[in-house]
Structure 1
Amino acid sequence: MKKKMMTAVLAMTMVAAAVAGCGSSSGSGTTVELTNEAGGDAQAETQKAEADQTAAEGTVYKVGIVQYVDDASLNQIEKAIEAELTAKGAELGVTFDYADYTFNGQADQSILTQIAADLVADDVDLIIPIATPTAVVMQSATEENQIPVVFSAVSDPVGAGLAADVNAPGSNITGTSDAIDTAAIFDLMLAANPDTAKVGLLYDKSQASSLGAIEDAKAYCDEKGIAYVEKTGTTSAEVQAAADALVAEGVDAVFTPQDNTVMTAELSIFEKFIDAGIPHYTGADSFALNGAFCGYGVNYEELGTKTADMAVDILVNGADPAATPIENLERGIVTVNTETAEALGLDYSMFKDMCSEVVETVTAEEFE
């Protein structure tokens, strides 16, 4: 990071010493040490805060944003992050330069690795990876240089090895989680159809974010005496084949957690399930936008906004990512695709008493 030095002179007993600030700055990232021999501690603290504020103004922070793949949820998160960084920059008088450092990994490990190397070479001040696979790559790339990483939409940060503890992540990384309540989703499933006897579990086994929720789903089914069939796919074509297999198995419903591979394929499989009379219950609202019957989870716009706020706190206020708790937004928002519900003949009126909010949507590719 580029550093600049400036000197400030305060009247009477106030003595200011300029020290190096952080950020790839076009202004000055200076902090000021103040003392008051007369004991005016409150006044000294006020003046120090004002000096720090003035010093930060004009600073340019280089922020890398790396999305795992194009899908409705992740696109929504990225847009929210960018909007919040722009708004906070205007509010604080600084610039968050993300436009020059925003990339899409296209769900390709080699591309993500190259993006990480490029961001490190560009000496960015902070990296925001979106989704678990992206966060894992960015963490690996920053272990030695300790560039701060603030991830977004990581379902199980501890299980993925990204954090030692959600309250004290450790090292240079923190962020936001979109962990879901799997049991609550299955409760919705049984409320809509108490006769559900066999459930299909559709996911990508290479997606670490899906594994914990799938294990929770199996435990729920075992407890309730519900049979389950697992089908997986690592590409859209494989997911389509897995969906066909679940239809052939005659499942009563299908469950998918926040799985980016299945999300990418949803527009190509939702009609298969509708034609077979099978409701698809999922762990994100974007699935419902792309044709699934029901999505249950966090508000991804709020998740992106919160992620950006955490990044700003680290860059501008010097917050330590290692000691910044991972944020898990309030869960309980159900999104129902009304076109799919009508096609399936499903009544979801009881959902309003089982969650914090029911949102209705129709099939589209992106959120407006």
Structure 2
Amino acid sequence: MKKNSTLKKLLAAALSLSLALTLAACTGAGNDSGSSGASSSDGTAAGGSSASAAKTEYKIGLVKYMDHASLDQIEKNVQKELDAKSAELGVTFNYADYTYNGQGDGTTLNQIAAQLVADGVDVVVPIATPAAQVMQSVVTDEDIPIIFAAVSDPVTANLVQDMDAPGGTITGVSDALNTEMIMKMMLAVDPDIQTVGLLYSKSEDSSKKPIEEAKAFLDASGISYVEKTGTNTDEVNSAVDALISAGVEAIFTPTDNTVMQAELSIFEKLNEAKIPHYTGANSFALNGAFFGYGVDYDDLGAETADMVVDLLVNGADPATTPVVILAHEAATINTETCEAIGLSLDDVKAAFATLGIGVVEITTAQSFS
């Protein structure tokens, strides 16, 4: 055990009462899913792995940064795939007792991390960059591996040394954006666009790289841009008001959790202003944005769970396990918003087809069914 272990365990014990009070809602969200994450076990995994024969139950610490459609979708699919692997391999992947929601709060995330250390989990699965960064700061000193989900730029976030050779106890699945393609699709819809709004949170490392990529593309294309940021829903609403007043003709947002959480409160004012919102995930479109383009979060959740299983059952080494970057697929268009802002869905499809991009149609809802 490392020298900080005893101190951290004492800290975890001291925080346990506070954690029980402040995270009641968080654990409830994780534990009311109707699945225990457990299956019957005969002590033998498929293929006769000695690791699985020696251990038949694994504790999975599953930590979601906050509630919104993107992260909820990932969480559900991590759990779904772990349940499937439990049945297939005859071992128990117990996530239900160790699932938490950080509510977008750093103090809460630190308390969760301390509790997971005290619980002796076998792996921590943080969903989104801020959750991964807090988990790294606490659990890596205890030699607990991390398999992250939906970290857009793990190198910039200082989670891994290299995408192909992480070099530590952390690896996972990235939802890195193809920002250039989003810009090209924006111009395909409106070749004469003059001013673009950039809407994001400065507090999120996941937004830094795609925003810089967007600026570089727009500069090279001779298109001006206006930046507005927010660190909470009220500030995002104010930022949107400012962008509307500035006369932007379209808005770009990467996979930004802060803006995603605010999307249901901003899409109607953007619709009224006839401004298309181009975003980095289909869940934005589910919550009212005109457009989303990114990785499939169902697939991302399943891939994350598969990496967890490979680590625990097959003994995969995070230091040499490359970060997985999933391929981008079709663009997602909210057909209600498309009509509200005065665009023809057929024209949008035709514009995207020139770039080899198909379209998935969606309507506004709070979450995926």
TM > 0.5 = yes
1:30-50, Cα deviation, whole Å (9 max, x unpaired): 99xxxxxxxxxxxxxxxx963
Listed as ranges, the matches of 1:101-120 within 5 Å are 101-120=98-117
* 1:283–1:295 CA contact under 8 A, matched in 2: yes
CA distance, structure 1, for counterparts of residue 275 and residue 41 of structure 2:
58
CA contact (8 A) 1:288 1:336 kept: yes
Query: After alignment, is 237-246 or 351-360 more displaced?
Result: 351-360
* CA–CA distance in structure 1, aligned partners of residues 172 and 226 of structure 2: 34
Find the residue that maps to 1:64 and give its secondary structure: strand
State how 1:317-332 maps to structure 2 within 5 Å. 317-332=314-329
* Aligned counterparts of 1:148 and 1:310: Cα–Cα separation in 2: 11
1:198 aligns with 2:195: yes
SS state at 2:141 partner: coil
Distance apart, 1:332 and its partner CA = 3.5
Which of 42, 62, 65 in structure 2 is aligned with 1:65?
Answer: 62
- 1:82 equivalent to 2:79? Answer yes
Q: Which moved more, 1:353-362 or 1:205-214?
A: 353-362
Query: Contact between 2:51 and 2:315, CA under 8 Å: does it hold in 1?
Result: no
Secondary structure of 2:93 counterpart: strand
Q: 1:49 to 1:292 in 2, by over 3 A?
A: closer
Measured in 2, the distance between the counterparts of 1:246 and 1:53 equals 56
Give the distance between the partners of 1:53 and 1:225, measured in 2 at CA. Answer: 58
Length, aligned pairs only: 327
CA shift, 1:354, in A, is 2.4
1:315 has 2:312 as partner = yes
Rounded Cα–Cα distance in structure 1 between residues aligned with 2:66 and 2:367? 14
**1:166-205 alignment to 2 at 5 Å?**
166-205=163-202
8 Å CA contact 2:41–2:92 kept in 1: the answer is no
Cα distance in 2 for residues equivalent to 1:51 and 1:197:
60
Match status 1:231 vs 2:228: yes
Distance 1:271 1:51, change over 3 A: closer
The structure with the largest helix share of the pair is: 2
Would the alpha carbon gap of residues 225 and 27 (structure 1) be closer, same or farther in structure 2, given more than 3 Å must change?
same
Aligned residue for 1:250? 247
Q: Percent identity?
A: 60
Cα offset for 1:356?
Answer: 4.7
Instruction: Confirm or deny that 1:55 pairs with 2:53.
Output: yes
Structure 1 Cα separation of the partners of residues 95 and 76 of structure 2: 12
What SS does the corresponding residue of 2:84 show, helix, strand or coil? helix
1:232-271 alpha-carbon deviations (Å, 9 max, x no partner): 0000000000000000000010000000000000010011
Normalised by the length of structure 1, the TM-score is 0.86
Q: Give the aligned residue type for 1:281.
A: Y
Q: What secondary structure, in the 3-state scheme, does the structure 2 residue paired with 1:144 have?
A: helix
- What's the secondary structure of 2:113's corresponding residue? helix
Alignment correspondent of 1:20: none
Question: Does the 8 Å CA contact 2:200/2:228 hold for their aligned counterparts?
Answer: yes
Unaligned runs of 5+ in 1: 2-25, 32-47
* 2:133 corresponds to: 136
Q: Matches of 1:324 and 1:97 in 2, distance apart?
A: 23
> SS of the residue aligned with 1:242?
helix
Task: Tell me, in whole angstroms, the C-alpha distance in 1 between the residues paired with 2:67 and 2:312.
Answer: 27
**2: CA distance between counterparts of 1:54 and 1:285?**
37
Larger gyration radius, structure 1 or structure 2? 1
Does the 8 A contact of 2:42 with 2:90 survive in 1? no
> Structure 2: any 5+ residue segments left out of the alignment?
2-39
Match of 1:121 in 2: 118
Q: How does 1:250-289 map to 2 (within 5 A)?
A: 250-289=247-286
Q: Identify the residue that residue 289 of structure 2 maps to in structure 1.
A: 292
CA gap 1:49/1:309 in 2 versus in 1, 3 angstroms = closer
Computed over aligned residues only, the root mean square deviation of the Cα atoms, in angstroms, reads 2.0
* Cα distance in 2 between the residues matched to 1:272 and 1:68: 27
Is the partner of 2:332 in helix, strand or coil? Answer: strand
**Whole-Å separation in 1 of the counterparts to 2:225 and 2:120:** 49
User: Residues of 2 paired with 1:167 and 1:269: CA distance?
Assistant: 38
Q: What is the rounded CA distance, in whole Å, between the counterparts of 1:132 and 1:359 in structure 2?
A: 27
CA distance in 2, matches of 1:54, 1:123: 18
Read off the aligned partner of 2:251 and give its amino acid letter.
V
Residue 142 of structure 2 aligns to a residue whose secondary structure is: coil
How many angstroms apart in 1 are the aligned matches of 2:130 and 2:178?
21
Which of 346-355 and 306-315 deviates more? 346-355
Instruction: Look up the match of 2:91.
Output: 94
Deviation at 1:208? 0.4
* Superposed CA offset, 1:54-97 (max 9, x none): 725x7010000000010101000000000000100110000000
Using the TM superposition, give the Cα deviation of residue 195 of structure 1 relative to its aligned residue in structure 2, in angstroms: 1.1
User: Following the alignment from structure 1 to structure 2, what is the Cα–Cα distance between the partners of residues 185 and 332?
Assistant: 12
Find the aligned partners of 2:292 and 2:91 in 1 and give their Cα distance: 38
- In 1, the alpha carbon distance for the partners of 2:163 and 2:243 equals 36
Distance change in 2, residues 1:312/1:356 (3 Å): farther
